[in-house]
Structure 1
């Protein structure tokens, strides 16, 4: 990719000029941002601040959403998460996501993320970018499972190993947090010969991503900023899934595996 900023610039450019930031919640695990257009975006909070922030989040209430979204390009990763939450408050608004071809998933819980790929990955070499503790059990038929992580757990590969190992993988699942630490563009390139899927609440619900070789995009959408805050804080029985919804879109021509029947997990109506 000649210009790795291109993905970010395209995502930012689609945000209208007349949308403002309504609320911002910082950490401890997620940034949350609600906009005047009705969307509520999330992004992973990385407490990495080796260089100063460009903006004080408290000063950004009422600021143009597009302006705040440019912080996704910050090399202060804590601040970059705020920028991605701003991007997601537009793209991952349920109305916008539906318009862009995303549809609700039956299993409205990221704990079920890998279940549909259990059979199709049998005997394959599979990579997961980010430590998802439920991945090994869900992908228990693979020939080899490689988990890449910056903050290493036992058995993980350091994230720098992706440069060497991803080109040989058959399937690659990429955490949306890669948008925050700027590794996403290169990971997409390294996964070009694999079935590659980007997942999680930090992922924008944008069909733009298919222009960069991805086969699937599995974000989380929400239009209830205060409800999202309560859900993440553990104040709602269903957590964030009580006010938001996992959705998916796939590259034209890619046939995604069907979801297993999970009657105990219900989707949220988007009407």
Structure 2
């Protein structure tokens, strides 16, 4: 059975598992990874202790906000076949659920959906309260209770296999902007240059680039806080990736790149267009890179202003799901179209290529296999090119190419 959550409602993820094999470690590791990246997670993670014969000897839950571990099991003896759940102890642990809702957690973990929740007991009301508040929820559901779970959620659920990749795919590329910004440190901004084509942010440790919004967008009317950007904290500038103002988003992306594309970063010097060699299967490029059709014969090119033989951006809806390899221009990061493209290309090998590509392994979790961008070597020369409206080819004169590849699983 495949059930997908309806659009416009908070995502409710259910990791489906076989009897006796709950995904407790998987969910605990996922929660820990999100916490390490700066996301606010709440709720409960369960740990089950078993005897050598497989019999449950205890169950504990860990509160994600406090780290406190509570026992929710009771000793019934070796001969007992009854459920060892201590309902009163679980009721005490449910405080973590209420705190997650009150604190507007980015993701609420529920240790599992069991027969107690089927009967409206356990954590059923807390789970529904989180959903009613518009918060995403993730839990574990035994395969034998899929029907009851779908009824409980009214079909507003995503059924997930118990794999790391499935969890990240469900969490989704829509979170990559917050993820990038949360990793940026407190370096001081030395210089900000906004040119016709590119936006540049410089610190003592690195320089970041992002494509400047096109003329005609609201960003070109007036730059917020112009003249006051330099001298502040890089993390504050990076937080602008969450803005609805295209100008601010470009500044935020450039600030993120100034943190990640640092001068001392060790990376390959490959050209990003060669990320997958000469594709043998269906291959798509997002962005009309110069001479890309000659470099990669047979490739399908999608661009906002398609030339002869190229496809309009609407073609991504049909071309990307069928593609084996996809190369995406980093301009999609600044114009906020990247999350949708990554969702469409979820079954493809993906490379993000261009001067505005952030060189950080954080993005590998969102389905990107190769990141290929630039690391500045002559900051003054680069600033002049940006200020004078130079293009990507001009930027390369003052930078070195740099490519990161995701580890082979």
Contact 1:39–1:224 (CA<8 Å) still a contact in 2? no
Q: Select the residue among 323, 335, 349 that pairs with 1:181.
A: 335
* 1:93-132 pair list within 5 angstroms: 93-95=262-264, 97-98=265-266, 103-105=267-269, 113-115=272-274, 117-119=276-278, 121-122=279-280, 124-132=281-289
1:181-239 deviation digits (Å, cap 9, x = unpaired): 1111221122121121111111100001110111111111125431312355599xx94
Secondary structure of the residue aligned to 1:150 is coil
Gaps of 5+ in 1: 107-111, 255-271
Pick one of 360, 373, 388 that aligns with 1:219: 373
Residue 152 of structure 1: how far off its partner (Å): 3.1
Q: Which residue of 2 aligns with 1:21?
A: 189
How far apart, CA to CA, are the structure 2 residues paired with 1:168 and 1:40? 36
Aligned: 1:57 with 2:226:
yes
Q: Check the 8 A contact 1:176/1:201 in 2, yes or no.
A: yes
**What 5-or-longer segments of structure 2 have no aligned partner?**
1-169
* Match in the other structure for 1:11: 180
Q: Which portions of structure 1, spanning 4 or more consecutive aligned residues, are displaced by more than 6 angstroms?
A: 51-54
Distance 1:243 1:134 in 2: 22
53 and 190 in structure 1: CA distance in 2 versus 1, 3 angstrom threshold? farther
| Distance in 1 (alpha carbons) for counterparts of 2:389 and 2:171 | 43
Cα distance between partner residues in 1 of 2:341 and 2:208? 23
Shift of 1:162: 0.9
C-alpha displacement of 1:246: 0.9
Structure 1 contact 128–174 (Cα < 8 Å) conserved = yes
Per-residue deviation, 1:54? 7.3
| CA 155–73 in structure 1, closer or farther in 2 if over 3 Å, else same | farther
2:250 corresponds to which residue?
A: 81
Question: What whole-Å deviation, never above 9, does each CA across 1:118-160 have from its counterpart, x for those lacking one?
Answer: 53x13x21111111131100012x3xx2211123333332212
Change beyond 3 A, Cα 1:152–1:5: same
Judged with a 3 Å threshold, the aligned counterparts in structure 2 of structure 1 residues 151 and 79 are, in CA distance, closer, same or farther, namely farther
Question: Counterparts of 1:224 and 1:38 in 2: how far apart (Å)?
Answer: 13
Contact 2:206 2:261 in 1 (8 A): yes
CA distance in 1, matches of 2:196, 2:354: 17
Could you tell me whether the CA contact under 8 Å between 2:250 and 2:334 is conserved in 1?
yes
Q: Report the CA distance shift for 1:193/1:246 in structure 2 as closer, same or farther (over 3 A).
A: same
Structure having the higher Rg: 2
TM-score by length of 2: 0.53
TM-score by length of 1: 0.77
Alpha-carbon distance in structure 1 between the residues aligned to 2:377 and 2:256: 14
* Structure 1 SS opposite 2:309: coil
Tell me how many residue pairs correspond in the alignment. 235
Contact 1:21 1:65 in 2 (8 A): yes
- 1:127–1:173 CA contact under 8 A, matched in 2: yes
The answer on 1:244 being equivalent to 2:399 is yes
Alignment RMSD: 2.5
Determine helix, strand or coil for the equivalent of 1:172: strand
Change (3 A) 1:56 1:105: same
CA distance in 1, matches of 2:239, 2:355: 18
Q: Tell me what 1:253 maps to.
A: 408
Q: Tell me how far 1:164 sits from its aligned partner.
A: 2.0
Deviations 1:53-100 (A, max 9, x none): 6723322111211111122233332332121111111111132x33xx
Which has the bigger relative contact order, CA under 8 A and spacing at least 6? 1
* Match of residue 326, structure 2, among 172, 175, 180: 172
Q: Corresponding residue for 1:135? A: 292
Counterparts of 2:397 and 2:302 in 1: how far apart (Å)? 30
Whole-Å Cα distance in 2 between the matches of residues 68 and 25 of structure 1? Answer: 13
